[in-house]
Amino acid sequence: MVKKKRVPDWLNSPMWSSSTVTTSPPPKSRSLSPPPPSSSNDDRYGSYPSKSSSVTSSDSSLNEPHLPLPPPTSIKHEPIPIPTPRTRIRDSSTRSESSDNDISSYVEDVSRQSQLLEELSRKIINIGELRQLSLLGIPDGSGIRSTVWKLLLSYLPIDKGLWSSELAKKRSQYKHFKENLLMNPSEITRTLEVSASLKNGDLSEGKGLLTRSKLPQGEHPLSLGKTSIWNQFFQDSEIIEQIDRDVKRTHPDIQFFSGDSAYSKANQESLKNILIIFAKLNPGIRYVQGMNEVLAPLFYVFKNDPNEDYVINAEADTFFCFVELISGFRDNFCQQLDNSIVGIRSTISRLSQLLKQHDEELWRHLEVTTKVNPQFYAFRWITLLLTQEFNFTDSIHIWDTLLSDPEGPQETLLRVCCAMLILVRRRLLAGDFTANLKLLQSYPSTNVSQLLYLANKLRSC
């Protein structure tokens, strides 16, 4: 079978247009197309079964040889222990019974949840399986997501017995950071002083000239020395001001972040502390606008854990997970690396290449004909991990998939971005520079499961 360079037909199906096409429920038998087994195992792709059959009914002649092999998710599911085949059988029967996708997706959700819980209850967690399970999405309940994210970001070790000691260690380390780095210079100089503050008495004692004493290590507030803690403090205060401004602007529509209650103020305080400590510990990248957006979902998920202990220590846990997450993207934030191989420009060009590989027509139209430079839209997509393109809950779902990639979120992120472009290809192909740019910079709301399914499909091509 010669793989032609033209657009594969499954791309041209009405399914991929941005307006969600609700085609008629599957009348035909399923023997024509290999039933996509992935949908039997995930919750949110429940909408897919109806559409795939409509695809078969319309393009029956061409579809079968061109439909890609059953998505690799089915292959991946084989190593998973016995529960899976049972649920698969159960679900496929449910599917054929009712075209109501909600019921089947609920069942799949429950099965997913039980699989995850079972995985998490083991003494030694198989991180590979956990990654595969989370690839399809993590259910919202019982604090599963919070624990799974911590495992995926290597914060919690895979040996469950080590959890309490690891957590205690990390949390005390964070406390240490807070004490050292969030102190203002007055307090620091006080601790530096040798003694003698007892000598300089209270105002209520006797009278006499006050004694002058030497400065501790020559530190005084107007010091211009580079190593002076006062000087550093004043330089840091600019960054602290910026962090403060950005935190106040994070997610103004979500009560958790920007209400007037003491709870949201405390949350903002925590976000600020994390960012300030990160900036101080990483003089290389300090704080870059946008880090607050990357931090927000992490903190939200960890703070909403039903486990009391985790909630109290959410700040410390979030800090380390944030560090881990950013470390994969460090190079995107460093200005000097912009033009280098690891910098943001090269990442964007990789996205471009990916699009060219999968959908040359769209690529040509976008970059050559309408000259929409991917930097105009993809920069924000990539550096902020798509938090700004979707609403909060959707971006958390996307993050499930992003974090599950064993090689780091970057690869999956590029595939998701490519899928985003392909999903609106019809509008893009019809648009000129202005229209396309407008569309891509405020990406229309879309079915996230569809998006993720397509992104996953791109992996197999």
List residues binding another protein (CB under 8 A).
184-187, 189-190, 196-197, 200-215, 218, 220-222, 224, 234
CA 230 to chain CA centroid, Å, is 37
Residue 373: exposure state from Cβ atoms within 10 A (0-12, 13-18, ≥19):
middle
CB of 185 to another protein, least distance (A): 7
| CA gap 17, 19 in Å, rounded | 6
| CA gap 174, 182 in Å, rounded | 11
What residues contact residue 203 under an 8 Å CB cut-off, 6+ apart? Answer: none
C-beta closer to another protein: residue 78 or 205: 205
C-beta closer to another protein: residue 228 or 250: 228
| CA gap 74, 65 in Å, rounded | 19
C-beta closer to another protein: residue 82 or 198: 198
CB of 207 to another protein, least distance (A): 4
Is the CB of residue 228 less than 8 Å from the CB of residue 219?
yes
C-beta closer to another protein: residue 117 or 215: 215
CB of 225 to another protein, least distance (A): 11
CB of 242 to another protein, least distance (A): 14
CB of 182 to another protein, least distance (A): 13
Q: Is 405 helix (H, G, I), strand (E, B) or coil?
A: coil
CB of 219 to another protein, least distance (A): 9
- To which residue do tokens 């039903």 refer? 306
Give the residue among 353, 396, 351 at the shortest CA–CA distance from 375: 351
C-beta closer to another protein: residue 208 or 283: 208
C-beta closer to another protein: residue 197 or 441: 197
| CA gap 52, 35 in Å, rounded | 9
C-beta closer to another protein: residue 201 or 406: 201
CB of 179 to another protein, least distance (A): 16
CA 266 → CA 2, 231, 255, 270, 312, distances in Å?
60, 29, 12, 6, 12
CB of 175 to another protein, least distance (A): 22
Gyration radius of the chain over CA positions: 27
Residue 395: exposure state from Cβ atoms within 10 A (0-12, 13-18, ≥19):
buried
CB of 237 to another protein, least distance (A): 8
- To which residue do tokens 């000239």 refer? 209
Q: How far apart are the first and last CA of the chain?
A: 14
CB of 234 to another protein, least distance (A): 6
C-beta closer to another protein: residue 69 or 210: 210
| CA gap 69, 461 in Å, rounded | 10
Which residues is 124 bridged to in the sheet?
159
CB of 189 to another protein, least distance (A): 7
Per residue in 325-346, is it b (16+ CB within 10 Å) or e — as a string? bbebbebbbbeebeeeeebbbe
C-beta closer to another protein: residue 184 or 393: 184
Is the CB of residue 233 less than 8 Å from the CB of residue 276?
no
| CA gap 300, 232 in Å, rounded | 32
C-beta closer to another protein: residue 181 or 429: 181
CA 156 to chain CA centroid, Å, is 18
C-beta closer to another protein: residue 222 or 461: 222
